[in-house]
Structure 1
Amino acid sequence: MSKKTTPAKTAKGKANGADKAQAQTTAPTQQPEAGQAAVSYSMSPGLVPRMAKEQFSIAFSSYQSGLLYMLGVQPGGGAHLHQSAQPKPMGLSFNTNGQLTMTGAYHVLRFENVLAPHERANNMFDACFVPRRTHFTGALDAHDIGLDAEGEPVFVNTRFNCLSRPHPRHSFEPVWQPPFISALVNEDRCHLNGLAMDGSDPAYATAISRSDTIDGWRDRRADGGVVIDIRKNEIVCEGLSMPHSPRLHNGELWLLNSGTGELGVVTGLDTGKGTFEPRAFCPGFLRGLSFFGNLAFVGLSKPRYKRFEGLELDERLRKADSEPWCGVQIIDLTNGSCVDWFRIDGAVAELYDVEVLPGATCPMSLSLTSPELADLITYEGMNPTPEA
């Protein structure tokens, strides 16, 4: 039995495969439409065999390109990179129920995988993420997102300096704000961005600074970053450089110290005077962190804009004689080494979030405006559709 749907077109054409053979490390260049720059992809030889053996795929978002990417393995071998056009895709959260939740330009979007384990879309995709629930928030510059005990979204409302959840009538319901923010106001004061969930409870948040004035965070990018314990409502680590993507994993709080290009952990949280301990350096402005076993999946962007420049990362790259990356690096937590990678070159230079999708080896997603979304109808207990 195989559900029939067409992979969504993107702003730059149809989704295409990267790496036709497992040992090939240079992916084909995506052919641009008129007036658009080319984008090329490459990857380490071991990435496809790793995804195939361990049965996972990788989702990552780019607000710059307006695309949600899903990197998986074709049934016959070789990688497949599916892309769907989304309005400013940002934070991603995947749960064990097969739901993928995402913040966007003016909405929070819940995707459901409509395929049963034995079903395939287009005789190829073993997961088809379809938009099923949308809450329109307006432009809140929402960043990271998690799910509470009821499975409802909790997201970082950067524009209003708080954590929020959807409200049935209004744009959002505020649930927490940092202790140094004096008022709920439409001003990005501290650039609250990151959220670490402890199961279904919001546990830690990151901000670029503790500024309580509009846009004040931009003057504190080098060393004003903080980690806030949400439950204690206290700052527990400071002196960071543009921290992003806090995540709890194996009893430790991990985060990306983006201004230095470092993945690491915060030690001494119980004392309230936590210290950032670097575990790995990655050549890029880091945003997006997910874990699978003993591996960390880290998103890298090129620091092309002023808000990313003038940081320690610039000097680290110069000393390493390295250019900044855009892509995903997979870090072995045992020794901090990069064991596999996926790289994007060309017009796409910035990613925001990364999420591992266990159990799905070749996933796809549909955009809100795709004609396939109107044509694809599913319901519980529906009869199998004959193969075409």
Structure 2
Amino acid sequence: MDTHPTVEDVPAPSPAPLKTDLTCSRGFSQWLAQHQVSIAFSSYQTGQLFLVGRMPDGTVSFHQRDFERAMGLWHEPGRLFLASLVQIWRLENVLASHERANGHFDGLFVPRTARITGDVDAHELVVEASGRVVFVNTKFSCLATYSLSHSFKPVWKPKFISRLAAEDRCHLNGLCLEDGVVRYVTAAGRSDVVDGWRESRVGGGLVIRTDDDVVVADGFSMPHSPRLYNGALWVLDSGRGYLVRIDPATGAKTDVAFCPGFMRGLAFHDGHAIVTLSLPRNLRFKGMPIEDEIARRGGQPWCGVHIINLATGDVVEWIRLEGGIRELFDVTVIPGIACPMAAPLQGPDLANLLTIEASDRQLD
């Protein structure tokens, strides 16, 4: 008897993978070699972690793994943390200094724990000196840490937020440490109503010191990624397209560099800033100062990574992404590893990647 499959019997075609061309400046590989670092950056739009290093022959290595809604990154020696849609992942480098994976990777980051938070729209994260992981819980307008039994435990919220609610009231998005504890955060607006920050996208952003709730500086357009480096406080004035240096004592602001994309994610290394840039979501940075600034300079928006010399404000090296990937989030520097990779989250490659920690005593 002849049978014909019904519509339900025919498997739906898999969506075509997003094709993205990655190019980099001619000196990018040499910059990595000179500074003995590699970098990692995330794309929440496509759900990917990128590890960028230098192959033994000098070519640039781009290694990627899928993490749904990949967001905030934190690196400490031998370890990466990554915030995603419903988990915060901890990945461990399982290679000793003399070991290599697949012949040339000198860092192999393997997922070891996933702390389930649910979709709290976790943005940036840090690890305090005590070992406590603190992440920006953007949906609930607070900073939070892990809970053994619940989605999260709140540890701080802005004074103008009257209560915790899943309403993304002020778009809290970035944080940084000072002396091993969280000290500064960024918010897009001083709002205590659901999604109210959108009315403050231009000029309503602020940087807050968490220990005394003082607004250190304001007047930003969608600020992101506060960082302390060389005695100054730095922030991305993303809606304007500027990397800004702030005097934490006076709040005085200085524009250091312009980048032609919406900046999220900031790291520093040896007198350089590394930032990620994104394209506008709806083809235009509608109503944002960055749109006019790019047009005034005769440029086009970028998606990619810029390395900026802080002494001059010049972009000295870059990575550019063209195609399916249009938005990036965070970036971090990985010192001492030339060419990193990461293990997948599932499948035989993970199942068969078995490593043994050295014992504290001799086993017979």
Q: Is the 8 A contact 2:21 2:323 kept in 1?
A: yes
Q: Which structure's CA Rg is the greater one?
A: 2
In 2 relative to 1, CA 326–370 (structure 1 residues): closer, same or farther, beyond 3 Å? farther
Q: Are 1:210 and 2:187 matched, yes or no? A: no
Distance in 1 between the 2:82 and 2:284 partners? Answer: 24
Query: Where does the alignment leave 5 or more consecutive residues of structure 1 unmatched?
Result: 1-32, 383-388
Distance in 1 between the 2:351 and 2:285 partners? Answer: 40
> How far did residue 54 of structure 1 move?
1.9
Distance in 2 between the 1:319 and 1:290 partners? Answer: 28
Q: Are 1:377 and 2:354 matched, yes or no? A: yes
Query: Where does the alignment leave 5 or more consecutive residues of structure 2 unmatched?
Result: 1-13, 360-364
Q: Is the 8 A contact 1:288 1:354 kept in 2?
A: yes
> How far did residue 37 of structure 1 move?
4.1
Q: Percent identity?
A: 47
Q: Are 1:230 and 2:230 matched, yes or no? A: no
Q: Are 1:266 and 2:246 matched, yes or no? A: yes
- Structure 1 match to 2:37: 56
> How far did residue 307 of structure 1 move?
9.6
Question: How many corresponding residue pairs?
Answer: 346
Q: Specify the SS of the correspondent of 1:328.
A: strand
Task: Please identify, of 365-374 and 302-311, the stretch whose mean Cα deviation from structure 2 is larger.
Answer: 302-311
- CA deviation string 1:334-356 (max 9, x = no partner): 01001111110011110000101
User: What's the C-alpha RMSD, in Å, of the aligned pairs?
Assistant: 1.5
Which of the residues 20, 43, 53 maps onto 1:72?
53
- CA deviation string 1:12-48 (max 9, x = no partner): xxxxxxxxxxxxxxxxxxxxx9634421111111110
Distance in 2 between the 1:101 and 1:238 partners? Answer: 30
Q: Is the 8 A contact 1:208 1:226 kept in 2?
A: yes
- Structure 1 match to 2:281: 304
Paired residue type of 2:130 = E
Distance in 2 between the 1:153 and 1:132 partners? Answer: 15
Q: 1:120-135, aligned counterparts within 5 Å?
A: 120-135=100-115
Which of the residues 328, 332, 342 maps onto 2:305?
328
- Structure 2 match to 1:91: 72
Q: Are 1:358 and 2:338 matched, yes or no? A: no
Q: Is the 8 A contact 2:285 2:291 kept in 1?
A: no
Distance in 2 between the 1:309 and 1:39 partners? Answer: 25
Instruction: Give TM-score scaled by structure 1 length.
Output: 0.87
Q: Is the 8 A contact 1:179 1:234 kept in 2?
A: no
Q: 1:1-388, aligned counterparts within 5 Å?
A: 35-95=16-76, 97-267=77-247, 269-271=248-250, 274-305=251-282, 308-381=285-358
> How far did residue 306 of structure 1 move?
8.4
> How far did residue 370 of structure 1 move?
4.1
Runs (4+) of structure 1 exceeding 3 A deviation are: 305-308
- Structure 2 match to 1:386: none
> How far did residue 187 of structure 1 move?
1.1
Paired residue type of 1:43 = C
Q: Specify the SS of the correspondent of 1:48.
A: helix
Distance in 1 between the 2:24 and 2:104 partners? Answer: 21
Q: Is the 8 A contact 1:102 1:110 kept in 2?
A: yes
In 2 relative to 1, CA 334–60 (structure 1 residues): closer, same or farther, beyond 3 Å? same
Q: Is the 8 A contact 2:169 2:194 kept in 1?
A: yes
